[in-house]
Amino acid sequence: MPSPAVLAQLRKIVGLDALLDRPEDLMLYEYDGGVRKCTPAAVVFPQETRQVAQIMKLAGSAGFPIVARGAGTGLSGGAIAPEGGVVIAFARMNRILEVDAGNMRAVVQPGVVNQQLSDSVAHLGLYFAPDPSSQKACTIGGNVAENSGGPHTLAYGVTVNHVTGLTVVMPSGEILRFGGKAAECTGYDLTGFLVGSEGTIGIVTEITVRLLRRPENIATLLGIFETIDDGAKTVSAITAAGITPAALEMLDGWTLRAVEAACHAGYPLDAGAVLLIELEGLAEQVEEQAEAVREVCFQQKAREVRRAKDENERGLLWKGRKNAFAALGRLAPSYYSQDGVVPRTKIPAVLQFIEGISQKYGLRIGNIFHAGDGNLHPLILFDPRDPHQLELVQAAGAEILERCVEMGGSITGEHGVGLEKRNLMPLLFTDDDLDVMLSLHNAFNAAAVLNPGKLFPTTRMCRETSGPSTNPVLQAEGM
Amino acid sequence: MSAPGVSLDVARELRSICGHDNVAERPVGGVYVCPGSTEEVAEVLTFANEHHLSIGPAGGSTERSAAELRTDIVLHTNRLTEVEHYDHGDLTVGIGAGATVAQLNLMVGADRLLFAGDPPMPDRCTVGGLLATAVYGPLRHGYGAVRDYCIGVRFVTGDGRRGKGGGRVVKNVAGYDLMKLLIGSYGTLAVITSASFKLFPSPRQTKTFLAEFATANEALQFRDRILRSPLSPVCLELVSPGARKLMRPEMTSDTWVMCVRAAGSDAVLTRYQKELGSVITRELEGDSEQRMWRAIQNFGYAGDGRDDARAPELIYLSVWPREVPDVVDTLLKQSALSGVDVSLIGRVGVGLLLVRVADKEAGTAAIHKLIVVLERVFGDKITLKLRGAVNPWPIPPTNLASMRAIKQALDPNNTLRGRNIF
């Protein structure tokens, strides 16, 4: 916990109006989009990289942990402060520093909202491809920390595929520049390594991103199926037909009814599942692919395939998809969103498994997810005021993720490990694997000043047989 | 380099790990070892690390010849060829680092899938080598870099620890992205033993449109027109007159050629024809198209033979796309000044140029002068790598301290010394 003297120093760095430490203010920063909570000791709002470096140095010398925060939309607890920690919020570092259309690049501060970047370059016919469902709120700094995805990553890749350079404040307080506007870097790909490191290696204060040209034509199709299984089988049938849609999303019948009630997107109320399929590119190519996708859908027993007639209809279909999580708020006080991944041919099997888990635990689980990538988002509804329910929900979630890993998949496709899934890391990684990652963590953040307690399991690794851990990440957890 | 007596003991130890037939003493001193599994690679590295012996990993020797490695042990990956997973419905594959890119292409091609890595000499270039050097071919324009479609990697660190990054699925953010760290690290951090990749549906048909121009500048204006258009070709390549003559000695024309490779149905290809317009002088399909792209893929290699000490120098330049005309102009002026023959090709849509200086003996001094000029004129607008050099980065990386910290974490005794980058 930073002392009053340290808080005074922090105020001196960022300015009197750029630090919060009253309990009623701090409450807003104790949670993110996940289910964990912890009240920080203070929140600071730096306005420039130099201030972030000064804060970092102070944290190192005074011994308090810090965590960077964008909009707090993360779903894995990545931006939750540890006990006594200080949050560095990037709300005031939210400028687009440069748009370089000739080189298809933009340089932005971490607090720039994802959608805002695409909007600001739309007049140039450009956009930023990663599009998390929270893109109206989430920041590019947060996208970088978690290596965020979104529906259109099926064709265009996740955040790391669209970042070519970073300015980073390291735990030492040094300000470093990794990569730049060029497609290839000199030396190790430190930019690629930093993206998705969940704020445990350095704090990013400037980001150089790749911009893409908007496609000539877009077709948005809605494949309507009687059963989840038919919809699920269609996913790999589409890719087997040699088509890579820009996006391929699935909503089960139960979820789409909730979404329809909230958003009036035009989803059918009596379907077992729908696939939202988007095709982009040259007009000729889009038309051919749209026809081919229709055929595949009907071969897989689709009841109907609709096509958005105009931008308004397309917008409505996507509004339903992107606001789906919020729509479920009508059905239960809270939900627990999972982020498992399976090879796409295993989607039918894993959906059956999830149905079994729903029955086993007596919990309602909706499925709305990036089917094309095999990236599932089972949404488990619950009431957080009942501690027993939260335990059940977490156990059900863990079982689903275990099954994903058994099928050759992963515990997280785009949300990150954070606090939420750190103890599931041994499902994917051996002690040796984690040891290698830990040695890289300790190469830069050995004192665990930066975002302690994230990403690495707190359950003791086999090698540590007795006594308190010498591993600073685990020490921060009181292990 | 160890004394000969020590080398004999090393060979005996390595034979006990990898079997008698998989270890050989090198005429230049040191030992050649071919482990057959990740476990054996780990044992070899642990042994070398404990005894402070140096190791140079080697694949197909297309980037740097294994014969040039001056380490106590040359670790060859040629026995690590196992297919770890492959389901064509998932569009993913996992394969040993010693498999060649041609073997991988053959396997997935049978299911009409495409592995987007197209390095020079794919029948020799290994998957591990492709990753370690981050080398690319003309498909780099349309499919991205190997960092974009490598989804998992298994490796052994310099100090003998087995590690893993990513996995088998196309979307995965669990743990640090160690693929990014190892790709392009030239085997200085770890020996990659296998990797997983995202695959793409193979285009059913392609066609290549050629347009010729009197100057590079005009060719690059055509590039800009394509980049602003709705077209998204799979390859977009600039070929200099010199490069064209190297690939087809019978060519006498002094024109710059832009090669636009399109994939799609007849209707899509017709649209390309229409958009590209009258500037197109030739269209290639089938065998002649394949031959041309193979020549471009092997540029700087064709007929050179990497075991030949006179193999030409090759610079991989990455330039801000808008700066390509000025960089080409500078290269040509320097070539004229120094009298050294410079030819180039490039994936100019994404700002990548391959610059070849024909005669290695005359070229080495000239190429270093060229690099000095490029650095002075363009600063951070370019990055470059030198093929086959002990240090591939003649302009030192700006973040050597961070790189050293990573090296220290994964290879504290500097066991992996095939390259000298620090």
Q: How far is B51 from A84, CA to CA, in rounded Å?
A: 46
Instruction: Determine the pLDDT at residue A478.
Output: 41
Q: Chain B contacts of A345, Cβ < 8 Å? A: 87, 89-90
Q: Which of A75, A100, A189, A339 should be substituted to probe chain B, the one whose Cβ sees the most B Cβ atoms within 10 Å?
A: A189
CATH number at residue B193: 3.30.465.10
Of B177, B350, B405, the CB nearest to A196: B177
Q: Chain B contacts of A103, Cβ < 8 Å? A: 320-322, 351
Average pLDDT of the segment spanning A366-388: 92
CATH of A217-326, one of 3.30.70.2190, 3.30.70.1230, 3.30.70.3000, 3.90.550.10: 3.30.70.2190
In a domain, B405, yes or no: no
In a domain, B410, yes or no: no
Dump pLDDT digits (tens) for A192-232: 999 999 999 999 999 999 999 999 999 999 999 999 999 99
| Total number of domains constituting chain B | 4
Q: Chain A contacts of B189, Cβ < 8 Å? A: 188
Question: Is it true that A217-326 and A332-406 share their CATH fold?
Answer: yes
Same domain, B65 and B25: yes
Picking from B134, B132, B107, the residue whose alpha carbon sits closest to that of residue B189 is: B132
Q: Which domain holds residue B363?
A: 313-386
Instruction: Determine the pLDDT at residue B153.
Output: 98
In a domain, B395, yes or no: no
Final residue belonging to a domain, choices B262, B294, B326: B294
In a domain, B419, yes or no: no
CATH number at residue B268: 3.30.70.2190
Average pLDDT of the segment spanning A80-109: 97
Same domain, B176 and B87: yes
Instruction: Determine the pLDDT at residue B64.
Output: 84
From B25's Cα to the closest Cα of chain A, the distance in A is 32
Q: Inspect the interface and report whether the beta carbons of A285 and B92 lie closer than 8 Å.
A: no
**Domain A332-406 class, CATH top level:** alpha beta
From A16's Cα to the closest Cα of chain B, the distance in A is 34
Angle at A105 between CA A118 and CA A103, to 5 degrees: 130
Of A242, A373, A440, the CB nearest to B112: A242
Q: Chain A contacts of B408, Cβ < 8 Å? A: 443
Dump pLDDT digits (tens) for A36-89: 889 999 999 999 999 999 999 999 999 999 999 999 999 999 999 998 999 999
Per-residue pLDDT of chain B (422 residues; tens, 9 = 90+): 444 445 558 999 999 999 999 999 998 889 999 999 999 999 999 999 999 999 999 999 998 888 888 899 999 999 999 999 998 999 999 999 999 999 999 999 999 999 999 999 999 999 999 999 999 999 999 999 999 999 999 999 999 999 999 999 999 999 999 999 999 999 999 999 999 999 999 999 999 999 999 999 999 999 999 999 999 999 999 999 999 988 887 777 899 999 999 999 999 999 999 999 999 999 999 999 999 999 999 998 865 444 444 567 899 999 999 999 999 999 999 888 888 888 999 999 999 999 998 766 666 777 888 899 999 999 999 999 999 888 999 999 999 999 999 999 999 999 999 898 88
In a domain, B254, yes or no: yes
Q: How far is CA A96 from CA A116, A209, A435, in A?
A: 9, 11, 38
Angle at B82 between CA B80 and CA B87, to 5 degrees: 145
In a domain, B307, yes or no: no
Same domain, B143 and B170: yes
Instruction: Determine the pLDDT at residue B366.
Output: 78
Instruction: Determine the pLDDT at residue B358.
Output: 73
| Strand A378-382 versus strand A334-337 pairing type | antiparallel
Instruction: Determine the pLDDT at residue B37.
Output: 98
Q: Inspect the interface and report whether the beta carbons of A157 and B144 lie closer than 8 Å.
A: yes
Orientation angle between helical segments A228-240 and A347-361, nearest 10 degrees? 160
Of A170, A216, A428, the CB nearest to B230: A216
Q: Inspect the interface and report whether the beta carbons of B172 and A243 lie closer than 8 Å.
A: no
* pTM score of the predicted model: 0.95
Return the residue of A nearest to B178 by Cα.
A193
Return the residue of A nearest to B166 by Cα.
A410
Q: How far is B403 from B55, CA to CA, in rounded Å?
A: 19
- Laid out side by side, the sheet with B55-58 consists of B23-25, B31-33, B73-76, B55-58
Instruction: Determine the pLDDT at residue A459.
Output: 74
Q: Chain A contacts of B93, Cβ < 8 Å? A: none
From A130's Cα to the closest Cα of chain B, the distance in A is 13
Q: Inspect the interface and report whether the beta carbons of B173 and A416 lie closer than 8 Å.
A: yes
Final residue belonging to a domain, choices B294, B328, B358: B294
From B324's Cα to the closest Cα of chain A, the distance in A is 10
Q: Inspect the interface and report whether the beta carbons of A186 and B265 lie closer than 8 Å.
A: no
From A235's Cα to the closest Cα of chain B, the distance in A is 10
Q: Inspect the interface and report whether the beta carbons of B91 and A103 lie closer than 8 Å.
A: no
Overall size of chain A counted in residues: 479
Final residue belonging to a domain, choices B263, B294, B325: B294
From A179's Cα to the closest Cα of chain B, the distance in A is 9
Q: How far is A358 from A373, CA to CA, in rounded Å?
A: 23
CATH topology of domain A4-89: 3.30.43
Instruction: Determine the pLDDT at residue B3.
Output: 46
Label residue A94 by pLDDT band (50, 70, 90).
Answer: very high
Return the residue of B nearest to A217 by Cα.
B230
Cα dihedral A67→A71→A72→A75 (10° resolution): -110
What single string gives the DSSP state of each residue in B307-361? TSTTPPEEEEEEE-GGGHHHHHHHHHHHHHHHT--EEEEEEGGGTEEEEEES-HH
User: Using CB atoms within 10 A of its CB, is residue A363 exposed (0-12), middle (13-18) or buried (19+)?
Assistant: buried
Instruction: Determine the pLDDT at residue A361.
Output: 95
In a domain, B13, yes or no: yes
Same domain, B98 and B16: no
Q: Which of B133, B161, B176, B403 should be substituted to probe chain A, the one whose Cβ sees the most A Cβ atoms within 10 Å?
A: B176
Largest CA distance in chain A: 70
Q: Inspect the interface and report whether the beta carbons of B406 and A188 lie closer than 8 Å.
A: yes
Q: Inspect the interface and report whether the beta carbons of B320 and A182 lie closer than 8 Å.
A: yes
Between A346 and A323, the more confident residue is A346
Whether pLDDT at A171 is above 80: yes
From B77's Cα to the closest Cα of chain A, the distance in A is 21
Instruction: Determine the pLDDT at residue A476.
Output: 47
Instruction: Determine the pLDDT at residue B310.
Output: 55
Dump pLDDT digits (tens) for A250-267: 999 988 888 888 888 889
**Domain A96-213 class, CATH top level:** alpha beta
User: Using CB atoms within 10 A of its CB, is residue B336 exposed (0-12), middle (13-18) or buried (19+)?
Assistant: exposed
From B379's Cα to the closest Cα of chain A, the distance in A is 11
Domain limits, chain A: 4-89, 96-213, 217-326, 332-406, 429-476
Given a contact cutoff of 8 angstroms between Cβ atoms, the answer to whether B53 and B10 are in contact is yes
CATH number at residue B29: 3.30.43.10
Q: Mean pLDDT for chain A? A: 93
Dump pLDDT digits (tens) for A121-165: 999 999 999 999 999 999 999 999 999 999 999 999 999 999 999
Return the residue of A nearest to B405 by Cα.
A443
Instruction: Determine the pLDDT at residue B360.
Output: 60
ipTM of the complex: 0.95
Chains A and B form CB pairs within 8 A to the count of: 253
Q: Inspect the interface and report whether the beta carbons of A215 and B230 lie closer than 8 Å.
A: yes
Q: Inspect the interface and report whether the beta carbons of B161 and A190 lie closer than 8 Å.
A: no
Phi, psi of B300 (to 5 degrees): 85, -5
In a domain, B402, yes or no: no
Same domain, B176 and B219: no
Q: Inspect the interface and report whether the beta carbons of B90 and A344 lie closer than 8 Å.
A: yes
Same domain, B97 and B197: yes
